[in-house]
Structure 1
Amino acid sequence: MLLAAGSSSRLGRPKQLLAYEGQSLLQHSLQVALEAGTGPVVVVLGAKADEVGADLSGEGVHTVFNPEWQEGMAASIRCGVRHLQQVAPSVEALILMVCDQPFVSPQILQSLVKAHQDTGKPIVTCTYAGTFGPPTLFRKSLFPQLLQLTGDVGARSILKQYANEVEALPFPEGKLDIDTENDYQQMLSGNRTA
């Protein structure tokens, strides 16, 4: 599940549409998710949905509009989980991604799945900059908790609540996400751990 509903207020323009390696950040993230081959991809849109979602297509790609996108990331997670349950009811887990982490690769997503299979842990997340963060895999048994999230803090509360059931994989490049013009310039300069 790829979250792309935010308004990018700190950046002042839709970060989903920033150019990266000949395509938008959102298209890049979608390509990564598809190349990982881990299942259908639900893209959650919100702010400027018509513009942001204009070029999203492909087999296994499902877009959904989150009418509550202004509430924050939790509303997008809830919207995406509900949509995923409709389009792929037999799915056993989901990987939560954000579109502003340019250095996520198909291999990282595949590593999350493998760690989940190898350890049996219901949550497999990435670690960078001394904290947990996306991309993060959640087993289906935790979908009800994802559907209860509120506010703009994402799923971090679930990671804390189930701390003993979390498998963590190092992903130092995950530290760079694009929230400001400076972040974008860091990415363009090739600095992978700004």
Structure 2
Amino acid sequence: MVSAIVLAAGLSKRMGNENKLLLPYNGKTIIETTLQHLLDAGIEEIIVVTGHEAQLVSTTIRHLPVIIIYNPLYEKGMTTSIQKGVEVAAGSGYMICLADMFSITALEYISIITAFETQLQNDEKCICVPRYKNEKGNPVIFSAAYRADILQHKEMEGCKKIVEQNKTHIHRIDMQTPHILEDLDYPDDYKKISME
């Protein structure tokens, strides 16, 4: 089983006054859309890590069968949210998902997880990184062999250094669409999807 750890704690600073995860999209919010794709992929354990506007985010998603945990250290950086998720994750792999990457489809999540599960049989320390036309994207899946490394990680902006230090264990997954590169940072990004 792969545990999906969905990072939903950020401040959305670049979006101005809006919390981008709560913006409407196709009758749902951005975060609900992301979580629905993960649920449609059949992922059994989805852990949503909240921080900024935690109460609002939790209220928005509490009807979904996901585990919601609060990260009181979220302002220190993304790594603290990853660590909070890993602390409770029970899977053989940790798929680190960004809550604003709502365009990744259930089938794409399935293909990434299937590639990880296949690779794990050959390499218990594998790290799976999706890419589109040689550009690395998200979500990255870490084998649970990295649990201690992640929990002790000191750099606050994610686990890139762990990936760099374990290059021989990286397995790249070629994707057919750029969805794994597409997140929502600026008001213009949201305007574009609103007009689609």
Structure 1 length-normalised TM: 0.87
Task: Give me the whole-angstrom Cα distance separating, in 2, the residues matched to 1:184 and 1:80.
Answer: 27
Give 1:166's aligned residue.
170
Deviation at 1:187, TM superposition (A): 2.6
Unaligned stretches of 5+ in structure 2?
Answer: none
AA matched with 1:7: L
Residues 73, 151 of structure 1: 8 Å contact kept? no
Query: Equivalent residue of 1:10, what SS?
Result: helix
Please list every run of 5 or more consecutive structure 1 residues that lacks an aligned counterpart in the other structure.
Answer: none
Q: Relative to 1, partners in 2 of residues 1:18 and 1:184: Cα closer, same or farther, differing over 3 Å? A: same
Alignment of 1:100-179 (within 5 A): 100-120=100-120, 121=123, 122-128=126-132, 130-171=134-175, 172-179=178-185
Q: Is the 8 A contact 1:176 1:187 kept in 2?
A: no
Distance 2:155 2:165 in 1: 17
CA contact (8 A) 1:97 1:135 kept: yes
Percent identity, please. Answer: 27
Q: Would you say the 8 A contact 1:75–1:149 is kept in 2?
A: no
Q: Within 5 A, what are the aligned runs for 1:90-109?
A: 91-109=91-109
How many residue pairs get matched?
A: 185
Partner of 2:75: 70
Distance 2:74 2:155 in 1: 10
What displacement does 1:173 show? 2.2
> Is 1:27–2:32 an aligned residue pair?
yes
The TM-score, its normalising length taken from structure 2, stands at 0.86
Q: CA RMSD in A?
A: 1.8
Relative to structure 1, the CA distance from residue 184 to residue 92 in structure 2 (aligned partners, 3 Å threshold; closer, same or farther) is: same
Cα displacement (A) at 1:129: 7.1
Question: Matched residues in 1 for 2:135 and 2:150: separation?
Answer: 20
